[in-house]
């Protein structure tokens, strides 16, 4: 479900015309729908109500302060992976007691920051890191550091090799077989306080089976750890996949309620895969969704600069590039591309490409899209997650402005960067 639709042929975010926004704020432009984010947050809570989960939004998906603040107001906690993300959550008014601090490479400074802000727990990714957290806690804060181990259940899942995290070929988590003995050692350390246990198996998972398999494998371990150490929570991570193909049509149909639209996982299937197993644990359940909450809630609006034909191909060159939205270049990720104005008749096989000097700066290859002219706008859909947050200034390109729409109102939640912003901190001589 999302709130982007055509009205009189033209694309709207909730009640606001995307062409109107592009006229006012220029392109490339990220536009988010607040209503879609709230719908997804509430939908997920509702689907898992039997276990009354604490949703800890994964900040890396989209870390704009307005998005964090919106989620904080809905009651969300946060999953952060750096001191920077933790500072963002503070800045946005999020509660650190609902923050979990993940990541394989936390520095001493980041550990100190987490202790100072009073995070719910550090999610520990290795034995060495656990010892370091204990040391910093003993040295600085003189209070116990709350921890949960991230268990690697060795289950393959995820839409792409680069976003699979839960197997022994990945750098994440602590091997399943070693977990019990490490908890026992941690349990004797007075500088540590054992709060929970965590896993995260991958991203853009569109079937219930991997979630079910991982939770099922974890349950006996979690029960044992609860008994031995009185753990409060089991965090099953994020990874719930969204619709990328046919995203516009499936918005109307409510893709999360039915599988008919596309290969994304309906919420009921996700819930049915995990809730029955989790219910009798009688522990707090944490979730760490990123993409699910914000992915379909954002589009990248871009303007056509030129058209060009080679002997073999039609190219449409737009003013957004891989620096603005990296996913197609990095993962060959599919994002639906739609004209912002009324679609013209027919389709033309087209490569939509950006201006960056890389052959990989391509949003789609040989895709049938509605014919376009210079000055037309295109919307690259499902760009709310890992869009702006993975953007860069490659080719000294200022990053886009970001707009948040709520009903008929639109507000700028990040102004467009200026070229002079990009050399701040540099020294000529």
Q: Does 58 bind ligand LLP (CB under 6 A)?
A: yes
Contact between 2 and ligand LLP by CB under 6 A: the answer reads no
Tokens of 255: 């893709």
* Contact pattern from residue 99 through residue 138 relative to ligand LLP, giving x for each residue in contact according to CB under 6 A and a dash for the rest: ---x------------------------------------
Does residue 203 touch ligand LLP according to CB under 6 A? yes
Rounded CA-CA distance 133/156 in Å is: 29
Listed in sequence order, the DSSP H helices in 48-172 are: 65-74, 83-91, 108-117, 127-136
Q: How far is the CB of 110 from ligand LLP (least distance, A)?
A: 15
Is residue 255 involved in binding ligand LLP (CB under 6 A)?
A: no
User: Which of 101, 211, 292, 363 forms a contact with ligand LLP (CB under 6 A)?
Assistant: 292
Strand runs (DSSP E) across 137-260, as ranges?
A: 145-152, 174-175, 192-198, 233-235
Is the CB of residue 100 less than 8 Å from the CB of residue 235? yes
Give the contact letters, 378-397, x = binds to ligand LLP (CB under 6 A), - = no.
Answer: -------xx-----------
Considering beta carbons, is residue 115 or 326 the nearer one to ligand LLP? 326
CA atoms within 13 A on the CB side of 237: 32
Cβ distance 154 to 175 under 8 Å?
Answer: yes
For 171, how many CA atoms within 13 A lie in the half-sphere containing its CB? 5
Applying CB under 6 A, the span of 106-114, 282-290, 340-348, 409-417 interacting with ligand LLP comes to 282-290
Determine which residue in the list 210, 239, 298, 341 makes contact with ligand LLP, applying CB under 6 A: 239
> Which residues, 6 or more positions from 138, have their beta carbon under 8 angstroms from its beta carbon?
191
193 carries an active-site annotation: no
Residues 61-100 that bind ligand LLP (CB under 6 A): 61, 79
Size of the site for ligand LLP (CB under 6 A): 21
Query: What are the phi and psi torsion angles at 217 (to 5°)?
Result: -65, -35
Q: Scan for tokens 């689907």, then name that residue.
A: 47
Question: Based on CB atoms, which residue is closest to ligand LLP, 238 or 251?
Answer: 238
CA distance 101 to 85: 9
| Residue 169 exposure: Cα atoms within 13 Å on the Cβ side | 8
- From 56, 99, 357, 364, active-site residue: 357
Q: Residues in the site for ligand LLP, rule: CB under 6 A?
A: 58, 61, 79, 102, 163, 165, 200, 203-204, 237-240, 288-292, 327, 385-386
Active site residues: 357
């Amino acid at each position: 479900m999302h709130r982007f639709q055509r009205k009189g042929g033209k694309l709207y975010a909730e009640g606001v015309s995307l062409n109107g926004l592009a006229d006012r704020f220029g392109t490339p432009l990220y536009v988010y729908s607040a209503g879609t984010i709230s719908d997804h947050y509430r939908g997920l809570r509702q689907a898992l109500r039997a276990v009354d989960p604490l949703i800890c939004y994964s900040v890396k998906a989209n870390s704009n302060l307005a998005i964090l603040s919106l989620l904080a107001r809905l009651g969300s906690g946060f999953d952060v992976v750096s001191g920077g993300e933790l500072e963002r959550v503070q800045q946005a008014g999020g509660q650190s007691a609902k923050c979990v601090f993940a990541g394989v490479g936390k520095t001493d400074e980041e550990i100190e920051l987490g202790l100072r802000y009073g995070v719910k727990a550090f999610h520990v990714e290795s034995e060495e890191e656990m010892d370091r957290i204990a040391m910093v806690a003993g040295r600085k804060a003189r209070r116990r550091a709350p921890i949960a181990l991230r268990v690697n259940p060795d289950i393959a899942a995820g839409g792409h090799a680069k976003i699979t995290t839960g197997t022994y070929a990945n750098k994440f988590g602590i091997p399943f077989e070693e977990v019990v003995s490490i908890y026992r050692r941690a349990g004797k350390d007075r500088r540590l306080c054992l709060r929970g246990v965590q896993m995260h198996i991958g991203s853009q998972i569109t079937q219930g089976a991997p979630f079910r398999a991982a939770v099922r494998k974890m349950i006996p371990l979690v029960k044992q750890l609860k008994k031995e150490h009185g753990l409060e929570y089991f965090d099953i991570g994020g990874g719930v996949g969204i619709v990328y193909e046919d995203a516009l049509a499936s918005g109307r149909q409510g893709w999360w309620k039915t599988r008919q639209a596309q290969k994304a996982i309906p919420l009921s299937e996700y819930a049915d895969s995990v809730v029955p197993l989790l219910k009798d644990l009688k522990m707090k359940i944490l979730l760490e969704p990123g993409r699910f909450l914000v992915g379909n809630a954002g589009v990248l609006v871009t303007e056509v600069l030129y058209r060009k034909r080679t002997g073999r191909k039609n190219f449409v060159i737009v003013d957004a590039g891989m620096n603005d939205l990296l996913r197609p270049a990095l993962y060959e990720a599919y994002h639906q591309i739609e004209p912002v104005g009324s679609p013209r008749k027919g389709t033309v096989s087209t490569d939509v490409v950006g201006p960056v000097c890389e052959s990989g700066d391509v949003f789609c290859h040989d895709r049938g899209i509605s014919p376009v002219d210079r000055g037309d706008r295109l919307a690259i859909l499902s760009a709310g997650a890992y869009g702006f947050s993975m953007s860069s200034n490659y080719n000294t390109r200022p990053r886009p402005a970001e707009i948040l729409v709520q009903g008929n109102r639109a507000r700028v939640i990040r102004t467009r960067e200026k070229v002079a912003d990009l050399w701040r901190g540099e020294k000529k001589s």
